[in-house]
Amino acid sequence: MGKKIFSGVQPTGNLHLGNYLGAIKNFVELNNDQENDCIFCVVDLHAITVKQDPKELRNNIRETVATFIASGIDSKKSIIFNQSTVPAHSEAAWILSCIARIGWLNRMTQFKEKAGKDKEKASVGLYSYPVLMAADILLYDASHVPVGEDQKQHLEICRDIAQKFNNDFNVENFFHIPEPLIQKEFSRIMSLKDGTKKMSKSELSDLSRINLTDDKDTIINKIKKAKTDSLPLPSKIEELDKRPEAKNLLQIYSSLNNSNLKKTIETFQGKNFSELKENLSQILVEKIEPISVEIKKLLSEKEYLDKILLEGHKKANSIASNKVKKMHEIIGF
Ligand code: TYM
């Protein structure tokens, strides 16, 4: 039987190689399987948990859709929509925030990282972010949620919320309990400047990531400048634990090559970083540059992108408003 896939990406600009290898590449594969029903959401309500410039946000929403399409997601085979255009997400998030426990949210490491030292100044939305994410997933009875490793904890809380709602109201199976789909070796792509830090849109230095809009020369330059260590490349996976930069570059190469780390290590063992970097640049240019070119082309076709979102809105809205209506009945509204 096919899977019901749901996943979301924030329209906060600078979509990068981590987003692509950790999530979007997997979306494309799931979307290519005829058996699956896929829904991909541009999560603008999540984006505003930190301050956004309205004009940039509007552009970034279109850019996220363009990235989906340029990466190979077929808008005819999947629903692509913008979260804020489906009011059921906010409604369900409120209801589920009365189900979720403060103790559960207090354990979320992403909030701790994003809020930083001054938690008092973080938005309430940033804190309750995982509840909105649970609403996203549960409204569509998703069976599987493809995400990077950083979202694992949010998936766990989603499962807890679903279970508690089903138990509290004695409605077994009302919310489907979703499974995370996290790729084994490529679930956490690291910064090119520090192999112990996640590749991220918010990192100040642009040299820390490959953006999906980078052109050929930029990609080559960033790989040239990527941090390395002074030893030749190892012959055993275990040796990589102490060499985060080597591990990251080998992983990126493996993923783009649709291979695995073990095989990639066999190819490069005993060689210098320069050889790995040369091969890595080549495959990055081969795989990422066409996406970058296509994104730029699509961005000039605003009406086309808006049409995709409108079509997606109609379908998503119909599913989600129906589910929220049932939630109302169960609760006693
Ligand atoms: P966001 O927008 O931060 O990231 C989008 C996807 O990219 C993955 N990702 C990474 N994977 C590997 N290595 C990295 N360095 C890396 N950086 C980002 C993320 O894990 C994610 O899968 N909360 C979500 C969006 C969301 C969502 C949802 C996801 C909202 N509602 C419902 C699934 C289901 C987020 O902030 O993703």
Q: Write out pLDDT tens, residues 77-100.
A: 999 999 999 999 999 999 999 999
Cβ proximity of 211 and 201 under 8 Å:
no
Cα 150 to ligand 1 centre (Å): 7
Residue nearest to atom 20 of ligand 1 (CA): 148
Cα dihedral 115, 46, 37, 186 sign? negative
Distance CA 286, CA 256 (A): 10
Residue nearest to atom 19 of ligand 1 (CA): 148
Active site residue 76: no
Angle, in degrees to the nearest 10, between helices 273-299 and 302-331: 90
Residue 198's DSSP bridge partners are 190
Element (H, E) at 57: helix 54-71
| pLDDT for the residue 26 | 96
Active site residue 326: no
Q: Residues lining ligand 1, judged by CB closer than 6 Å?
A: 6-10, 18-19, 22-23, 43, 46, 133, 136-137, 145, 147-148, 150-151, 154, 187-189, 198-199
Q: How far is CA 249 from the centre of its chain?
A: 20
pTM above 0.75, yes or no: yes
| pLDDT for the residue 213 | 97
| pLDDT for the residue 171 | 98
Per-residue pLDDT at 184 exceeds 90: no
Active site residue 222: no
3-state secondary structure 123-153: CHHHHHHHHHHHHHHHCCCCCEEECCHHHHH
Cα 240 to ligand 1 centre (Å): 25
pLDDT tens digits along 224-280: 999 999 999 999 999 999 999 999 999 999 999 999 999 999 999 999 999 999 999
Cα 267 to ligand 1 centre (Å): 31
Mean pLDDT of 307-326: 98
Mean pLDDT of 109-114: 93
Distance CA 327, CA 139 (A): 10
Residue nearest to atom 22 of ligand 1 (CA): 147
User: Which of the two residues, 14 and 136, has the higher pLDDT score?
Assistant: 136
| pLDDT for the residue 1 | 82
Cα 149 to ligand 1 centre (Å): 8
pLDDT > 70: percent of the chain: 100
Distance CA 8, CA 136 (A): 8
Q: Considering 4, 198, 222, 247, which one is annotated as catalytic?
A: 198
CB atoms within 10 A of CB 113: 11
Cβ proximity of 296 and 70 under 8 Å:
no
Mean pLDDT of 175-190: 93
Q: How far is CA 291 from the centre of its chain?
A: 17
Per-residue pLDDT at 118 exceeds 90: no
DSSP-derived 3-state class of residue 180: strand
Ligand 1 pocket mutation, candidates 17, 19, 144, criterion most atoms within 8 A of CB:
19
Per-residue pLDDT at 117 exceeds 90: no
**From the alpha carbon of 142, which atom of ligand 1 is closest?**
34
